[in-house]
Amino acid sequence: MTRKYLVTGVAGFIGMYTAKRLLEHGHEVVGLDNLNDYYEPELKSYRLSQLMPYENFKFVELDLANREGMAALFAVEKFERVIHLAAQAGVRYSIENPFAYVDSNLIGMMTVLEGCRHNRVEHLVYASSSSVYGMNDKIPFSEDDQVDNPVSLYAATKKSNELMAHSYAKLYKLPVTGLRFFTAYGPAGRPDMAPWLFTEAILQDKPIKVFNHGKMMRDFTYIDDIVEGVVRIQDKPPADNIPYKLFNIGNNEPIQLTRFIQAIEKATGKTAEKIMLDMQPGDVERTYADTERLEEAVGYKPETEIEQGIEQFVEWYKAYKESREQP
């Protein structure tokens, strides 16, 4: 059965791949993005170019914080399901530009919730983040853990999204599912993330900054695994008295930063020059997803090994850069 979807943040990393998977399955997708300049717009254009050939795809350039515009979009398009992936991303940037997070992550979440409420959307799936776990010292991180100690504004906005979504599920019986993503990476990933930054520097024989002296642990999750989780979950609207669910989507295997760097060195065939630094404000030392709830709900667990995923990213990165340099 085909449906009509709204995918927000469609020019973003997870948004593009999620929309592509839905389009390949024959669904109608309206993709929304404001194409901001948080990072190079050229990459967002590249991602959109992967979607434009599909006849069942329509792109809308609109800011989530535009209340009237969002209300009109929902009223006209009559979406059956919504996958809300748009957000102002980045932990460190939230320290420099806090109001960008309020506009996109709080007001933007509100316009989506209101649109779903007033237009009888059958399931809203939205992106939360592993950053909500903050300095949680119990591992692996479980959806049942207390998450009341965010270490960044970004994390605070994502925790707020979870509370807002729960209230709408309770008040209006709106089926809502939140997904706590754990460090997504892969081809066409964000240029402000470690895979891109490290690969670029190593290929250009420039030093890389290694925070916490390489002792950071991250539950790196390959993009195909993230999308598989999103697509399976969106097909299972919660039907409880309060129709709200929350899931981790992570690889269930924390990778030390040193192993991650070694994977890039192997894929590029070059050795990195490393500048060892202390931990940065807003960062956490370790992320580690408990994926038992996801496995029970949809029979799926991410499992792409870091070496395999990094090889795919580096291969894509080289081809992408080469295509940009051609006249």
Hey, which residues are catalytic here? 154
Pairwise CA distance, residues 5 & 27, whole Å: 7
CB 110, CB 68: distance < 8 Å = no
Number of CB atoms found within 10 A of residue 308's CB: 12
* Beta strands at 255-256 and 217-218: parallel, antiparallel or unpaired: antiparallel
**Cβ 34 vs Cβ 62: under 8 Å:** yes
Residue 117 sits at φ, ψ, to 5 deg, of -60, -45
How many other CB atoms sit within 10 Å of the CB of residue 207? 11
H or E element that contains 16 = helix 13-24
Spatial separation of the C-alpha atoms in residues 105 and 14, rounded to whole Å: 16
Rounded Cα distance, 34 and 86, in Å: 9
